[in-house]
Structure 1
Amino acid sequence: MNSENKDKIISLRHLLHANPELSMQEINTRHFLIDFLKKYTRLEIREYGHWFCALYHAPVPGAPMIAFRADMDALPIPEGDAVPKDHASLHPGVSHKCGHDGHCAALAGFALEVWQKQPSVNVCFLFQHAEETGQGGRECAESLADAGCAAVYAVHNLSGYPENSIICRRGLTQCASRGLTLYFHGRASHASQPEDGLSPAGALSRMVSYSQSLPHSHIFREKVLCTVIRIHMGEKDFGIAPGEGEISFTIRANQESDLELLEQLLREKAAGLAAADGLSMEYQIADPFPETRNHDSAITAVEQAAKRLGKERIELPEPWRASEDFGYYTKKCPGAIFYVGNGTDYAPLHSTDYDFNDRILETIVDMYLEILTEYC
């Protein structure tokens, strides 16, 4: 990567980090990125509401289109004191704790390099909204399929692995997941006469026990996980036995069919407990993510690129449990997501002291450039 281009994207990354925006609110983030691309390239910019893409048109008729995607959104996590003050978040309670600022800066740097090198293949640089909630991938993937892209790639930074190492996996690489909230409706009463009410306490406690037993059953094809993330019933008012309660889970599975079965079992159990205690029950789904599966041809291109660059290559022994809406893309066309190591002792993703490692920006850009040569 050109050293001047590297300096440019480090500055861009710091600008994005200082101005984080939550999912579906990535207004200034889009503007910063579009301004950067317009300043340093003549790529065609196409805006689609919450997201946009930049297109490089090769000077070769009939060349294939290869897409590369970066996510733009931040998280509702406070900035930690370990992040340098020159680019720390300016928005209290919101920060880039998953490295999407770095993903975007790297993709913008790749776009700059492509514009300067003028390769013989068409390239789509796709900047996606709302990855953290799973909303953006489905919308963008539909447009990508309509555009007839031959392949799509993405990257994610990953702590716990050697800095600038390339981590990848064939087939299933990240799990499917969704949020499930169960609401139990009963009747409140005076705390001295709980028999006059209909309390959800028993149903909530039994749901906790049941949810923790499910992953150990033998009815699923592969690994499933059920994490209780919130339980709420009443307030700290010692004169009231509450009649309303709710419990929220993140449910996760290697296979989408197992995820559907896990949700079904939880809802059926909740309905049975509600009926037994004279309660009514309803549920809500949030943040759905598909399973993400890499295509063999695409992950081979990643492995060959890493080999040519002399990068340390590490095979992910098991799917990364964290979910990723890039799975919507690989349902539409061949593609792969790979990972670049932040360092073995680097701050973990989604932690307050995490800050994207600028030293891996060049590796991401170089990997993208090498992958692109597979199609030239």
Structure 2
Amino acid sequence: MLSNSDLVELTAFRRDLHRRPEISGEELETAKVICAALQELNPTEILKNLGGHGVAAIFDSGKSGLTVLFRAELDALPIHEVSDAPWRSEIDGKGHLCGHDGHMTMLLALGRLLSRQPVANGRVILMFQPAEEDGSGARAVVADPRFADIAPEWAFAIHNEPGKPFGFVATRAGLMNCASQGLQIKLTGKTAHAADPQDGVSPAFAVSELIPALTALGKGGALDENFRLVTITHVNIGEPTFGIAPADAVIYATLRTAFDDGMASVSTQAKALAQDAAARHGLDVVFDVFDDFAASVNDADATEVALKAMRTLGIAHGNEGLPMRASEDFGVFGWDAKAAMLCLGPGVDYAALHNPDYDFPDDLIPIGAAIFERIARDLLG
């Protein structure tokens, strides 16, 4: 159990993390701070630079058994924080506005508990993952050759979820978070004088066709296996001038499906629409993919382990608001492990994630740590 002095120190640590946010792929200093804090807990081993700036602390009992992984995220967001808190971001245009500072601190709290009372068998992995916000981090960690040495049979994560009562946990077996992919479509023609547009090749007509055509590929609806949603998030044509008919255009479309197997289909269809429009209007077209998130799907056995832990602890739980359209790259850890994501409520009227005035509530730290510890001891003794 965490002491009052633990909670004071952990709260101060979380607020220090909050002051110095680093966005996806840039988490070098955050990783150093995490490593220094982990060293004090005397884990069996600390792996650094996993899949980028990832850090994994191994607490090995020395006895054969399962490997259980608990994940937190290192990265912040490229959003300017609006706050009067003394621990507000000191880096303009960047902020821990999704609660990853709190998630890291919950994992360190678990590390304190494990260092004082090790598990009876098997291993616990505290995984501090980079680049969650752009969907690249979990894939990079799993692809790192060193991850094979710590590959877990079980994996768990907690994400705070505003809109749910304080301390309430939402989870379920099955789909938790949708798959999503950011598709960038670049169209290239030829400029001309605005007085003689026929001398050039403008992408404007292709763009005007593609916006409704892409949107029609997926209009949302029920979150079942047929769910598809295409959202146009950005369009740019030419330069802001009146004298030149444009040559270039770019369209950003976010593709969203319930499960991974649906993503390939909608992506193929979106690219085919763009290729057809480009061909008809004499344009070149190239594609690029960003923010590629796998679906996060909870294993039934792992979900039951988490539910049992919450029943033991007397923590209120349910499946309200699930599954979610928003994406989360924790699902990658579930490709080869029994995995479960839990959504921990900070309050019904709490500021939403990614809002400029969001701040992780420190009183969630002991709740998250207690859930993680109960899961670890139920599986490993």
Q: Percent identity?
A: 31
Aligned residues: 372
Q: CA deviation at 1:150?
A: 2.2
- In structure 1, what is the equivalent of residue 72 of structure 2? 70
CA distances 1:7-30 after superposition (whole Å, capped 9, x unpaired) = 221111101110101111111101
Partner of 2:21: 20
Q: Which residue of 2 aligns with 1:57?
A: 60
Distance 1:31 1:45 in 2: 12
Equivalent residue for 1:105? 105
Determine whether 1:226 maps to 2:230: yes
Residue 40 of structure 1 and its aligned partner are, at CA, apart by 4.2
Counterpart position of 2:175: 172
Partner residue, 1:363: 367
Residue 338 in 1 paired to residue 342 in 2?
A: yes
How far apart are the structure 2 equivalents of 1:335 and 1:29? Answer: 26
Does structure 1 conserve the Cα–Cα contact (< 8 Å) formed by 2:79 and 2:356? yes
- SS of 2:35's equivalent? helix
Structure 1 unaligned regions, length at least 5: none
The structure-2 alpha-carbon separation of the partners of 1:298 and 1:145, relative to structure 1 and needing over 3 Å to count, comes to farther
Query: 1:216: Cα distance to partner?
Result: 4.3
Among residues 295, 320, 327, which one is paired with 2:324 in the alignment?
A: 320
Contact 1:43–1:115 under 8 Å retained in 2: no
Matched residue SS, 2:132 = coil
How far apart are 1:203 and its partner, in Å?
Answer: 0.9
Does residue 134 in structure 1 map to residue 138 in structure 2?
no
Q: Which runs of 5+ in 2 are unaligned?
A: none
Q: 1:145·1:332 contact (CA, 8 Å) conserved in 2? A: no
AA paired with 2:70? F
How far did 1:134 drift?
1.5
Amino acid at match of 1:128: Q
Q: Distance in 2 between matches of 1:114 and 1:238?
A: 66
| TM-score, normalising length: structure 2 | 0.93
How far apart, CA to CA, are the structure 1 residues paired with 2:365 and 2:19?
17
Name segments (4+ residues, structure 1) moved above 3 Å. 40-43, 142-146
**What is aligned with 2:211?**
208
Give the distance between the partners of 1:44 and 1:118, measured in 2 at CA.
14
Correspondent of 1:354 among 344, 349, 358: 358
Look up the SS of the partner of 2:152 in the other structure: coil
Is residue 176–residue 323 contact of structure 1 (8 Å, CA) maintained in 2? yes
Match of 2:117 in 1: 117
CA distance in 2, matches of 1:187, 1:91: 41
Instruction: Give, in whole Å, the separation in 2 of the partners of 1:70 and 1:93.
Output: 22
Q: Distance in 2 between matches of 1:187 and 1:243?
A: 4
Separation in structure 2 between the aligned mates of residue 30 and residue 221 of structure 1, nearest angstrom: 38
In the TM superposition, residue 140 of structure 1 has moved relative to its aligned partner by 2.1
Deviation string 1:35-64 (CA, Å, 9 cap, x unpaired) is: 1122344552221351111111215x2132
Q: Letter of the aligned partner of 1:24 in structure 2?
A: G
Rounded Cα–Cα distance in structure 2 between residues aligned with 1:79 and 1:317: 27
Residue 158 of structure 1, CA deviation: 0.4
Separation in structure 1 between the aligned mates of residue 290 and residue 378 of structure 2, nearest angstrom: 38
Q: Which moved more, 1:38-47 or 1:264-273?
A: 38-47
Q: Could you tell which deviates more after superposition, 343-352 or 112-121? A: 112-121
Instruction: Determine whether 1:372 maps to 2:376.
Output: yes
Please tell me whether the aligned partners of residues 141 and 332 of structure 1 are also in contact (alpha carbons under 8 angstroms): no
* TM-score, structure 1 normalization: 0.95
Deviation at 1:194, TM superposition (A): 1.5
In the alignment, the residues of structure 1 paired with residue 7 and residue 147 of structure 2 have an alpha-carbon distance, to the nearest angstrom, of 28
In structure 2, distance between residues paired with 1:357 and 1:237: 48
2:317 pairs with 1:308 = no
2-side partners of 1:217 and 1:38: how far apart? Answer: 47
Q: Shift of residue 145 of structure 1?
A: 4.6
Q: Structure 1 counterpart of 2:329, which letter? A: D
CA distance in 1, matches of 2:272, 2:66: 48
Residue 191 (structure 1) aligns with: 194
Cα shift at 1:222: 1.3
1:88 aligned to 2:92?
Answer: no
Q: CA deviation at 1:254?
A: 0.4
Letter in 1 for 2:265: L
Distance in structure 1 (CA, Å) of the matches to 2:87 and 2:176: 32
Secondary structure of 1:102's counterpart equals helix
User: Using a 3 Å threshold, how does the CA distance of structure 1 residues 89 and 41 change in structure 2: closer, same or farther?
Assistant: same
